Amino acid sequence: MDRRETVQRTIILDTIKSIYHPTVNDIYEQVKKNYPQIGKATVYRNVNLLVEDGLLRKICIGEKEAVYDWDLDSHYHLRCSECKNIYDIDLDYSKELDEKIESLGFMVSHHELVFTGVCPKCQEKNTKMEE
């Protein structure tokens, strides 16, 4: 859907591009620093519109609050099972799985692949706790 570009939407999208996988509340808190008059509902509404319009990807992994990604290219994510942070991983995209699924008559619109493990910071913290 072609929506009119608004100042708020532009500010929100620019803010999202400056934060790594933010939650809606992270986005709101950051926008509010420069635009204290903006309401939380305005941020929530505009984030949802950006997702609907395909300008932003919503990532829901596990029990953590949804985060948002402005990188719409196919890529994978790493999720730390301890601190719950989400990281991008740069792997070559392979359409082999999509093609196999499509051969079964299923049309793939998008896919998400998440590797779960323990990040280096949490590994280091765990090692120090064991000492």
Q: Are residues 38 and 97 in the same domain?
A: no
Q: Give CA–CA dist 84/65, Å, rounded.
A: 10
Q: Supply the pLDDT for residue 95.
A: 76
SS3 of residue 4 by DSSP: coil
Amino acid 30: pLDDT: 95
Q: What is the mean pLDDT of the chain?
A: 87
Q: Who has greater pLDDT, 111 or 9? A: 9
Do 35 and 82 lie in one domain? The reply is no
Query: What is the distance between the alpha carbons of residues 95 and 97, in angstroms, rounded to a whole number?
Result: 6
- For residue 26, the domain's CATH number is 1.10.10.10
Residues 92 and 81 occupy one common structural domain: yes
What is the predicted pLDDT for the residue at 130?
A: 79
Number of structural domains (the chain) is 2
Of residues 110 and 101, the one with the higher pLDDT is 101
**Statement to judge: residues 48 and 77 lie in one domain:** no
Q: Are residues 83 and 32 in the same domain?
A: no
Name the residue range of residue 88's domain: 73-131
Q: Is the pLDDT of residue 83 over 80?
A: yes
pLDDT more than 90, % of the chain: 41
Q: Please give the pLDDT value at position 96.
A: 83
Question: CA 29, CA 49: separation in Å to the nearest integer?
Answer: 19
Quick check: helix, strand or coil at residue 14?
A: helix
Residues 39 and 78 in one domain: no
Same domain (yes/no): 51, 78 = no
| Shared domain check, 127 and 102 | yes
At 27-52, the pLDDT tens digits run 999 999 999 999 999 999 999 999 99
Same domain flag for 31 and 41? yes
